Amino acid sequence: MSEFHLAAEFFPMNEHDLDQVAALEASLQPFPWSRGNFADSLSAGYSVWVCRLGGELIGFSVVMSVIDEAHLLNIGVAARHHGQGYGARLLRNAMQAARQGGATKLFLEVRPSNERAVELYRHFGFRQIGLRKGYYPAASGREDALIFDKELA
């Protein structure tokens, strides 16, 4: 593991992070969440985190919890840091925060075309439990979503 990898730190997202998080999301997604979506997540009290490497914001996650279930709404890592383990660390952090918040199960949706993310979730023991037809906007209409879940207990 490199020193840079070990230097990654996680912090609860705050209002000062919103512009950077929205810009990172826009660099990753053809149909990104807006700054307002992230601000709403903060206001709603969701578990929202940023990952920083030497002060640079390189990732984020957003988890909504209701009673004993949590839903990973969004997660992203700067493209130049893909394949370096930061997505896995963000996912672990999101699962730990959900567990600490009382969740016993975590749900998420993912595009089938996002093979790297599908592989990551399966590696962490998520299992596909369903399919949402036409869930995501796509360049050529709509794309389905795979629904995954994982027991956190």
72: Cβ contacts below 8 Å, ≥ 6 apart: 61, 62, 63, 91, 94, 106, 107, 108
Looking at the structure of the chain, the number of domains it has is: 1
Catalytic residue flag (residue 109): yes
Domain holding 45, by residue range, is 3-151
For residues 97 and 63, give the distance between their C-alpha atoms in angstroms, rounded to a whole number: 9
pLDDT value at residue 2:
44
Active site residue 135: no
For a pLDDT cut of 70, what percent of the chain falls above it? 96
d(CA 17, CA 49): 10
pLDDT tens sequence across 20-45 = 999 999 999 999 999 999 999 999 99
Whether residue 50 contacts residue 11, with contact meaning beta carbons closer than 8 Å, is answered with yes
Catalytic entry in 121, 135, 136, 143: 121
> Against a cut of 0.85, is the pTM above it?
yes
Residue tagged active-site, from 109, 119, 136, 143 = 109
